Amino acid sequence: MTRCSALELACCFPFLRRVSEFLKRQGATLESELSDEAKVREAVEFLRALLERGAPGAAAARCECSDPGRAVVVARLALYIAAAGGPHLLKKFAVVSGKAFSQTIRSALRDQCCIYGEECCRFEIARDLGVSAACTKDVFRGRGFSRADELPVAVRWTSYLKFAPQSPQWAMINRPVVRGWVLIPDGDFTRLLEGAYEERIIELARENELAVGWIARHAVPRLVPELEELARKHGRPALRLDAVKAGEDPPCMRALVEALKAGENLPHAARFALAAYLVRRGWDVERVVDLFRSAPDFNERVTRYQVMHIAGQAGGRKQYMVPGCQTMLSWGLCPNGLACGVRNPLLYARRGSRQGSGEQRTQVGAAAP
């Protein structure tokens, strides 16, 4: 498939701007849709399936649906219901929808961008999401570029900085940049669009606050049992920090915990650093796993294995060290520019005890009694 039809987009990607225009042409209104009990129930099931499976249905993955208009309405109602459930549930909805977006693109849109110097469906989606991108061969037309097959997609640096994952390997310094274009592999282009799709979902909720409020007043009271179940399973649990008894933790680790509390989706490097730190401070695997339940894309099986691997209880049986402060700075995880005066976050508590400081700090890493 080299061009996207409105029907395909409606079935696959219900949160695009172009799909919003499609919905308007259908003449659907929130009031009329909320009076349709079947659609409201279908929206709750859509939300439940997305949060629990983290993937679209088989028909959606093939960009097939018998009633595109209904599919869009149900997805939008599910978004508004998630937003009415609070910021954490909304963030989780956006993150999981982004993962489903990537999966659908890889399974349904099998054409590779720019292999023949032509745009594909993903470029239409990119434009819809506000991502400025082009074929590398088009950017270098007439001048030649030896790595155009290896790095077939060129993304404007402004779009790259806005939507690239916050991870060291995505730092722009590690990418070829030519005349304001960041050159990336085809797979990374899909990952970039995933981030943009997540942002679009959050934007839609903010732009439709009246709709979210209407849902909260008219739909949520009818759905209390279902929503309470979803909140128990997927809502943000309270972080158990009251058991911490002694020790002081560096600003970088406190910042990461605060980000988790706010429902942010921490990059892999941040999760690794925090888990390694807590394990070295004496937390057991289960306690660290419980902390990460606040992550929007939390997967208990994957998280437990990764924490066990960091703790030296799985894989190569090697316990990992906490990244040093210079590494934390290079990863963008040091909030005060190495002002702590230590080489490694683990040394922060020792420095504090030597200085005998009376400053009160939020303590996140002391071993449980």
Query: What residues in the chain have per-residue pLDDT under 70?
Result: 1-8, 28-32, 54-64, 108-120, 142, 144-145, 217-222, 224, 228, 231-247, 351-369
pLDDT at 278: 93
The CA–CA distances, whole Å, from 12 to 33, 194, 327 equal: 20, 13, 40
Dihedrals φ, ψ of 177, to 5°?
-125, 125
pLDDT at 59: 42
Using CA atoms of 184, 170, 54, 23 in order, give the dihedral in degrees to the nearest 10.
-60
8-42 pLDDT, tens digit per residue, is 677 788 899 888 777 777 776 666 677 777 888 88
The pLDDT tens digits for 97-125 are 998 898 888 876 655 555 444 456 888 89
Per-residue confidence (pLDDT) for residue 362, from 0 to 100 = 46
Long-range pairs, 61-64, Cβ under 8 A, ≥24: 61/103, 61/104, 61/107, 61/108, 62/107, 62/108, 63/8, 63/11, 63/12, 63/104, 63/108, 64/11
Q: Tell me the C-alpha distance between 123 and 20, whole Å.
A: 18
pTM to 2 decimals? 0.67
Pairing type for strands 181-184 and 177-178 reads antiparallel
Every domain of the chain and the residues it spans: 6-108+195-234, 121-194, 251-355
Cα(315)–Cα(294) distance, integer angstroms: 25
- pLDDT value at residue 6: 67
Tell me which residue has tokens 């960009």.
63
